[in-house]
Structure 1
Amino acid sequence: MQMSSRRAVLAAVLAVCMSGAAVAGSPAPSTGLGQAWPNAIDVSVNPDYHAYVFVLGGMQYIQINDLNGNVLGSVGTAGGQFITLPMGRFAQYVSTPQQPASANNNATPTASPAPVYDDGTTVITATPMSDASTQLKAAMCVPSICDAHGS
């Protein structure tokens, strides 16, 4: 009797969870901000990086990882405003329109900035540097301008 009660409770919980997901019409929420391999879809537009997006409380958090899963940096954005999150190997080299990089990197670029994330509104580029660091730059993208310049 006790086993069948547990099964009934488990079935009820699963039914509620599954119906909630079906009603919402969206995939399961992403988790793992700050992790090497978070429970989120890789949305990078560049095969040399991983980009993960998390949404909570109207804020969008975008995390950029290298190919080995090392977190390089992350930004939060909402309503055209950005903030650099204090996480990742090169968080001090992340810049946004409202917040320049907190550290002055005297290294020189070894390649041109390359788009890593682009959702049509927000663009993040990565620039490999001569000291093996990576500078990340987040910016708002006006679609007509981004489309004309290839992001």
Structure 2
Amino acid sequence: MQLYLLAEKPQAIHQIATWYSNEWGYIGEGRSVGELELKLKEYLNHDKLPLIMVAFDKGTFFGAAQLRCHEMDIYPQREHWLGGVYVAPSSRGIGVGKALVEAMIEKAKALGVTSINLQTEDISGGLYRSLGWQTVEQVTYHGIDVLVMEKSL
């Protein structure tokens, strides 16, 4: 498995948009594959946010994670966010998610970020708790119960 910035593998945009639409399309407007493809073009960056890391091997994309600013409007003071962490079902349970999260943490550090936040529907904290993320609080956001977590870098 190799990890690349989306800027290095822009051909992944359609696959990522499809994953995101299928996984989180129920959340609201702007979640069609076409709308997400347009939005993901904003992530074609190397040295500034937003950006996406993709997992790739043998000609196949099988995971993605984002680093972006101000994800949840109820937390205007929380600037940097990990989001859009997705691993294709056939590649789950083998460390892809962990590798993506760790790579995004290293990229954030390289960009001078000192703290990252995330929201997850896994109220236990799951993978993130095992990687040292701390609970901020559990909230209902846009009608969905989520756990908000933070990691100091």
TM-score, shorter chain, exceeding 0.5: no
Higher RCO, 1 vs 2 (CA within 8 Å, ≥6 residues apart): 2
Larger radius of gyration: 1
Higher helix share: 2
Q: Normalising by the residue count of structure 2, what TM-score does the alignment of the two structures yield?
A: 0.30
